[in-house]
Chain A
Amino acid sequence: MLEIRDLHVRLEEEDKPILKGLSLTVEAGKVHAIMGPNGSGKSTLSYVLAGRDGYEVTGGSATLDGEDLLEKEPDARAAAGLFLAFQYPVEIPGVNNMTFIRTALNAQRKARGEAEISAPDFLKQVRETAKSLNIGPEMLKRAINVGFSGGEKKRNEILQMAMLAPKMCILDETDSGLDVDAMKLVAEGVNALRAPDRGFLVITHYQRLLDHIVPDVVHIMVDGRIVETGGAELAARVEREGYGALVKATA
């Protein structure tokens, strides 16, 4: 589904390489996790895939179901089925959260040549999904992420993900800032979306999240490369031993 081959990326402004030949394939129906030390390039990978400005791809490729992602504008990538749950969701004053979600959903549908969702259908669906994530109606009415607590912002990301029903979901540290109960809710939200035609790439620092969202594959990223790939047990090893051994092994 998501295929990243030998990806090289540097910062436009500083001429600083961040991703240094990263390869990774997420198959449909699978959950892959990426763990790695701070600054290893995990968020950079997620931003480059989603199409944020400021990065230059100097080599390699990234495709979604065989379609080149890197040539597309961010909105076209979203319409093609890519979703990024941000590590730091952006506050947008003055834009109503629910209006935003509906606008996004309809924009994607329009881009795919589908009909818009009817207002009652949307309302019903957004209310139900919000409820399952313990997001009250007042949070739907507020400006996007403005005044949301850290945990509320993360739950709002999952709400958007559930509403947009993407093919490929990238979650960048969605667990950080969540209390135990919220973590469970988020994990349930993600698990509910697991489907044979949907892939997940879960970036996290902690085994805790992976206890709830059990990954099929775990990758360790160090200094812009995947240095080790294994099963769920690899996450447990990192939790026990830290990255020290892995970093040394690749140095």
Chain B
Amino acid sequence: MLSEKLIDDKRRTAEALLAALPLPEGESAWARDARARARSRLLDAGAPIRRDEYWKYTDPTALTAPAAPVAPAPEGGLPSALALFAGHAARRIAFVNGRQRPDLSDDAAQAGLAIAPLGEVLAHDVTWARGLFGALEAAGQEKVARPLAALNTAAATEGAALHVTGAVAEPLHLAHTQIGEGAALLRHLVRVESGGAVTLLESGIAGNTVMEIDLAPGAVLRHIRLQDAPERPTATHVFARLGAGAKFQTFTLTADGSLTRNEVVMEFAGDDAQGHIAGAVLGRGESHVDNTVFVTHGAERCESRQVFKQVLDGAAKAIFQGKIFVRQVAQKTDGYQISQSVLLSDDAEFSAKPELEIYADDVKCSHGSTTGALDEGGLFYLMARGIPLRQAEAMLVGSFVEEAVAEIADEDLREIMRARVADWMGARG
């Protein structure tokens, strides 16, 4: 139990976080309502602190320093950070300093897709958005507080609102970059109707980014993120709700970065759905990467998979907290979770906290976690064939990460991730 003083501190920090950000203007009544409820959620929960069980392994201080929004960046050429995923055919939607930049974006219009800036849907009465904005975030707080996500609902004014009604041919690439100090918040809303399918790429993630994803029965969404050496502390939340037979896949590669906390909160709301959550972490120096996953099985015969691989060098730290929560109705649940780490140095550290909470009796759930050095027998075998140590290590690391990379459906995107892993190993010296 937290002391009254700490609870007080948490609330005051939450107030300060809110006070630093301007109140959104010109929105419709329903959006204002959703924002007000989010403010209450945030104030009730208070800002996260290290003493919170959910933040045991990650000190949130760097994420809870109140900050005014970063100033708009000057107009100009394409910052290189927006060019990640280059070479992969995708329509870029560019954001700089938390603001959408049509001048740096592609024309996203495609059959089966309606896309608008977040501000636009919040200013109107858009039915699908109304049922989604803040709703999945609120539901995701049922078992554990996620105050930074509530902060996002309360204050984020920019992002993409996607309504997918058919199979979208080209992936959309949500690209962000930040120039200068200050807070950057992005909020993306995605609703995929039955028969709809879309691939979302994300890179250069803003400091506080939330994506709410609502999949109608049979809808398909693939989400692939690249967090390449994020310069600033970053907290992301992906909330996904899956209707019957829906398919959801998310993969994140995080390379370095001072502090990254990625939460994925997935709920099975309809039977026979499939949700795969995967990630790879490459950490060196003092980097700190925390992947926190919460899967709720609320329907029958759904399959969830969590596959996380971390490769840690220097004094890097990685954390994996993964929970599978199976409600009583969720019979025939198939839940799988694996988190594995390779430590390339003595000072690197991995902490895993797997959790199962199961109320149904006919389920199959398993979890496992391993951590250790690279397999010496394998290293020797490769070297005995003439492959130098660094190269042999890179080969073994590549194969170690492969199980997570294999969760990506598209071979071209898998190659991009493999190449990034190889580059990172190549930079070890």
Name A residues whose Cβ lies closer than 8 Å to a Cβ of B. Answer: 50-53, 73-75, 77-79, 84, 86, 89-90, 92-95, 100-101, 103-105, 107-108, 111, 143-144, 160, 164
Q: CB distance A75 to B381 under 8 Å?
A: no
Complex-state Cα separation, A51 to B382, whole angstroms:
12
| CB-defined contacts of B384 to chain A, threshold 8 Å | 50-52, 74-75, 77-78, 84, 86
Most buried by A among B378, B381, B398, B403: B381
Which one of B381, B388, B396 contacts A107 once the chains associate, using CB atoms below 8 Å?
Answer: B388
B391 within 8 A of A: yes
B429 within 8 A of A: no
Known: A74-B380, A103-B391, A107-B391. A92 touches B399 (CB 8 A): yes
> Distance (Å) between the CB of B130 and the closest chain A CB?
46
Which one of B376, B382, B389, B403 contacts A92 once the chains associate, using CB atoms below 8 Å?
Answer: B382
Known: A52-B380, A53-B380, A89-B381. A95 touches B399 (CB 8 A): yes
Complex-state Cα separation, A90 to B377, whole angstroms:
7
Complex-state Cα separation, A92 to B396, whole angstroms:
8
Please list 10 pairs of residues, one from A and one from B, whose beta carbons are closer than 8 Å in the complex, sorted by A's number.
A52-B380, A75-B388, A78-B383, A90-B377, A92-B399, A93-B402, A94-B403, A101-B385, A107-B386, A143-B399
> Distance (Å) between the CB of B317 and the closest chain A CB?
25
Q: Which residue of B lies closest to A104 (CB)?
A: B385
> Knowing that A53-B380, A75-B383, A108-B386 are A-B contacts, what are 4 other residue pairs whose CB atoms are under 8 Å apart, sorted by A's residue number?
A75-B387, A75-B388, A92-B381, A160-B385
Q: CB distance B386 to A78 under 8 Å?
A: yes
Which one of B376, B387, B403 contacts A53 once the chains associate, using CB atoms below 8 Å?
Answer: B376
Complex-state Cα separation, A50 to B384, whole angstroms:
6
B400 within 8 A of A: yes
Complex-state Cα separation, A105 to B396, whole angstroms:
18
Q: CB distance A164 to B403 under 8 Å?
A: no
| CB-defined contacts of A108 to chain B, threshold 8 Å | 385-386
Q: CB distance A95 to B377 under 8 Å?
A: no
| CB-defined contacts of B402 to chain A, threshold 8 Å | 93-94
Complex-state Cα separation, A111 to B391, whole angstroms:
13
Complex-state Cα separation, A77 to B380, whole angstroms:
12
Q: CB distance B387 to A104 under 8 Å?
A: yes
Q: CB distance B398 to A95 under 8 Å?
A: yes
Q: CB distance A104 to B386 under 8 Å?
A: yes
Once A and B bind, how many residue pairs between them come within 8 Å at the CB atom? 80
| CB-defined contacts of B399 to chain A, threshold 8 Å | 92-95, 143
B395 within 8 A of A: yes
Interface members, chain B 351-394 (any A CB < 8 Å): 376-378, 380-389, 391-392
Q: Which residue of A lies closest to B388 (CB)?
A: A75
| CB-defined contacts of B395 to chain A, threshold 8 Å | 92, 95, 100, 103
Most buried by B among A51, A78, A84, A160: A78
| CB-defined contacts of A93 to chain B, threshold 8 Å | 399, 402
| CB-defined contacts of A89 to chain B, threshold 8 Å | 381
Q: CB distance B381 to A90 under 8 Å?
A: yes
> Distance (Å) between the CB of B341 and the closest chain A CB?
16
| CB-defined contacts of A160 to chain B, threshold 8 Å | 385
Q: Which residue of B lies closest to A89 (CB)?
A: B381
Q: CB distance B386 to A79 under 8 Å?
A: yes
Q: Which residue of B lies closest to A80 (CB)?
A: B386
Which one of B376, B377, B387, B403 contacts A103 once the chains associate, using CB atoms below 8 Å?
Answer: B387
Complex-state Cα separation, A86 to B380, whole angstroms:
11
Q: CB distance A94 to B400 under 8 Å?
A: yes
Complex-state Cα separation, A203 to B384, whole angstroms:
18
> Distance (Å) between the CB of A150 and the closest chain B CB?
16
> Distance (Å) between the CB of A141 and the closest chain B CB?
15
| CB-defined contacts of B392 to chain A, threshold 8 Å | 75
Q: Which residue of B lies closest to A77 (CB)?
A: B384
> Distance (Å) between the CB of A100 and the closest chain B CB?
7
Q: CB distance B383 to A51 under 8 Å?
A: yes
Which one of B377, B389, B398 contacts A75 once the chains associate, using CB atoms below 8 Å?
Answer: B389
| CB-defined contacts of A90 to chain B, threshold 8 Å | 377-378, 380-381
Most buried by A among B380, B385, B399: B385
| CB-defined contacts of A164 to chain B, threshold 8 Å | 385-386
Interface members, chain B 237-265 (any A CB < 8 Å): none
Which one of B381, B386, B396, B400 contacts A86 once the chains associate, using CB atoms below 8 Å?
Answer: B381
| CB-defined contacts of A75 to chain B, threshold 8 Å | 383-389, 392
Complex-state Cα separation, A93 to B387, whole angstroms:
17
Most buried by A among B382, B383, B384, B387: B384
Which one of B377, B383, B403 contacts A73 once the chains associate, using CB atoms below 8 Å?
Answer: B383
Q: Which residue of B lies closest to A94 (CB)?
A: B399
Q: Which residue of B lies closest to A88 (CB)?
A: B377
Q: Which residue of A lies closest to B397 (CB)?
A: A94
Most buried by A among B378, B383, B391, B396: B383
> Distance (Å) between the CB of A128 and the closest chain B CB?
20
> Distance (Å) between the CB of A174 and the closest chain B CB?
15
Complex-state Cα separation, A101 to B386, whole angstroms:
10
Interface members, chain B 193-216 (any A CB < 8 Å): none
Q: CB distance A100 to B385 under 8 Å?
A: yes
Complex-state Cα separation, A50 to B388, whole angstroms:
14
> Distance (Å) between the CB of A112 and the closest chain B CB?
10
| CB-defined contacts of A52 to chain B, threshold 8 Å | 380, 384
> Distance (Å) between the CB of A70 and the closest chain B CB?
15
| CB-defined contacts of B386 to chain A, threshold 8 Å | 75, 78-79, 104-105, 107-108, 111, 164
Complex-state Cα separation, A72 to B378, whole angstroms:
19
| CB-defined contacts of A79 to chain B, threshold 8 Å | 386
Complex-state Cα separation, A92 to B388, whole angstroms:
16
| CB-defined contacts of B377 to chain A, threshold 8 Å | 90
| CB-defined contacts of B400 to chain A, threshold 8 Å | 94
| CB-defined contacts of B378 to chain A, threshold 8 Å | 90, 92
Complex-state Cα separation, A94 to B381, whole angstroms:
15
| CB-defined contacts of A74 to chain B, threshold 8 Å | 380, 383-384
Across the A-B interface, give the 5 residue pairs with the lowest CB-CB distance, nearest first: A94-B399, A78-B386, A104-B385, A108-B386, A74-B383
| CB-defined contacts of A104 to chain B, threshold 8 Å | 382, 385-387
Complex-state Cα separation, A217 to B278, whole angstroms:
57
